[in-house]
Amino acid sequence: MPKTIEIKVPDIGDFENVDVIDVMVAEGDKIEKETALITLETDKAAMDVPSPYAGTVKSLKVSADDKVSEGDVILTVEVAEADDEEPAAEEAEPEKEPDEAPGQPEDEPKRKSEPQPKAGEYQGNVDIECDVLVLGSGPGGYTAAFRAADLGQKVVLVERYDSLGGVCLNVGCIPSKALLHVAKVIEETHFFAEHGVKFGEPKIDTGALREWKNSVVGKLTGGLVGLAKRRKVTVVHGVGQFVSPHHLEVDGKDGKTAIRFSNAIIAAGSEAAMLPNLPDDKRIMTSTHALELEELPQRMLVIGGGIIGLEMATVYDALGVEISVVEMTDTLMPGADRAIVKPLEKRIRKRYENILLNTKVSKVEATKQGIKVSFEGKDAPKPQVYGRVLVAVGRRPNGGRIGADKAGIKVDERGFIPTDKQQRTNVEHIFAIGDITKAPLLAHKATHEGKIAAEVAAGEKSAFDARVIPSVAYTDPEIAWVGLTEAEAKEQGIDFGVGEFPWAANGRSLAMGRDDGVTRIYFDNKDGRIIGAGIAGPGAGDLISELALAIEMGADAADVALTIHPHPTTSETVAMAAEAFEGTLTDLYAPKKR
Ligand code: NAD
């Protein structure tokens, strides 16, 4: 005989009158055990209520926009008599010792020989259980969460801020690119003022600009909320700390949520490094503050000539601020290919007030007139006063902030969490991805690693085996590089050749009013394969993908040169750099090299 049973709102922690934001079943629907019935949302989390029974929905007692508390009836379901016993809680799998990890590559991170941190124990209540917990919702974290959900895992995504998307979407890549696009538009109008089209000096409304930038960010972060919901990923907002190898406690606005997980993926990122002994003054900014465009000072000092410093300098320069950059090494963007940094340096040396290489900041004082900065170095100028100072001296991983020791996870002295090629930490069922694992600290590395971790957590045999990770600085000109730089190829003693094409001979570049770009490709003389490349010029970041693919595919010069590239585009510079190496180039007079 079939039986009709009421399904009630289960224990949802300390919440009362929680919003029902979605009802996923209708009267007459056949449902299985674990079918999601409704989605509840508090300001801390969205969660699905699964059915404990299989059967047919007889009558629905709630609808979207209702409010419910524990014990309220959601619906009645007709079940076959044999099926009406509530399923016993599944027995937890015995925890494997880290040393038992199957298929563990021998080298990194060693689980047997090195002393491991002693993990904590957790005896408290559990509010949410899941297959995969992802800590951090940046590009790496949300990708991992969504991939794991697509592979059938029950996923919880924990984020300390109200908005999903992490540094990249909220205060990094995306807002900076929105402002860099504005900078490009302003620069193009300046250029054409001298070539027949005058718009007049731009009037900058920083408030409207900020709103537009925020709207771009909002579209993306709002999109993530929708994507999480559609995949039934439970999002919990608050600061997450491990309390045992299988538990994470989230401290949110409405109190604590304890989550038990089978696997965890740590994607907790990095934060801006600060110099010691800086006065507490809002005129001293990190890139997060600089993106808010609170004020356009007359003069600004950028400490650190790396990617962040030079991208923000590009924005503030276009908005009319006099820029100085101080960099402690002998070159801008150390680590990038020298030959492609040159066109950038040449352009900004003409535009900026000062570029100080081999120079350190020795003292920073807040005065009424501005921030007074003293310098140290062979060519150091006398102390200067700036309206604002941007500190962009690198980023630090957040490994020390997540209670890693309680889960037995090893964190190195710099705050990085070592992983193997499957993104596993020293604890077999805990993975780490993105900035928190190792350099380069790039969003696209994090997303790639996020997919691997999610796939491995879901039982697939994925591993990181990309040959190269491209880098891009969205300066003007853009600088992009992939694989070995010329200096690295020399250091490694590789017998290599260079194919180079100057953008001064590219029609499309000239039509954009630019003749300062360059495309360079490095080829191994042994087999002609591409080992690295660097591009400077507008849109270099988009062009570098072709060369990343070429390296992944083991392409040689002929593969690139004989691929027909559309005319007129800047992508032709890639083919022509390969032709220059091949000796088949006709767009320049280049004597045959091979
Ligand atoms: P960075 O490490 O790229 O550059 C920091 C620079 O500051 C270095 O050149 C360093 O020599 C210099 N420096 C350090 N201490 C100094 C001091 N006391 N005085 C003067 N100079 C000093 O770091 P970043 O630019 O802050 O960027 C941080 C991370 O974020 C990097 O890993 C970067 O790759 C990544 N990021 C990438 C992008 C992108 O892909 N477009 C954009 C922004 C940031």
The letter for the amino acid at 278 is L
Convert the pLDDT of each residue in 334-391 to its tens digit: 999 999 999 999 999 999 999 999 999 999 999 999 999 999 999 899 999 999 999 9
Which pLDDT does position 36 carry in this prediction? 81
**pLDDT band, residue 33 (cuts 50/70/90):** confident
Catalytic site includes residue 237? no
Model confidence at 101, pLDDT cuts 50, 70, 90, reads very low
Question: What is the chain's length?
Answer: 594
DSSP, res 152:
T
Task: Please check the confidence at residue 593 and state whether its pLDDT lies above 80.
Answer: no
Q: What average pLDDT does range 324-336 have in this prediction? A: 97
Reference 503, options 583, 592, 568, 581; nearest CA is: 568
* Ligand 1 center from residue 408 Cα (angstroms): 31
Which bin fits 426, alpha (ψ -120 to 50), beta or left (φ > 0)? alpha
| Cβ atoms of 516 and 503 closer than 8 Å | yes
CA–CA distance, 174 with 270 (Å, rounded to integer): 17
SS3 490: helix
Binning pLDDT at 50, 70 and 90, where does residue 102 land? very low
Contact in structure between 13 and 257 (CB atoms under 8 Å) = yes
Residue owning the nearest CA to atom 30 of ligand 1: 441
Q: Best-predicted range by mean pLDDT among 33-37, 83-87, 89-93, 330-334?
A: 330-334
Query: Is the pLDDT assigned to residue 85 strictly greater than 70?
Result: no
Give, as one character, the DSSP assignment of residue 276: T
For every residue of 179-238, which 3-state class applies, written as one string? HHHHHHHHHHHHHHHCCCCCCCCCCCCHHHHHHHHHHHHHHHHHHHHHHHHHCCCEEEEC
* Model pTM above 0.85: no
pLDDT, averaged across the chain:
92
Distance 308 CA to ligand 1 centre (A): 6
**pLDDT above 90: residue 81:** no
Residue 227 pLDDT more than 80? yes
User: Of 356, 393, 472, which is best to mutate to test ligand 1, by the most ligand atoms within 8 angstroms of its C-beta?
Assistant: 393
Nearest CA to ligand 1 atom 32: 441
CA 306 to centroid of ligand 1, rounded, Å: 4
CB atoms within 10 A of CB 239: 16
- Atom from ligand 1 closest to the CA of residue 361: 19
Average pLDDT over residues 196-214: 95
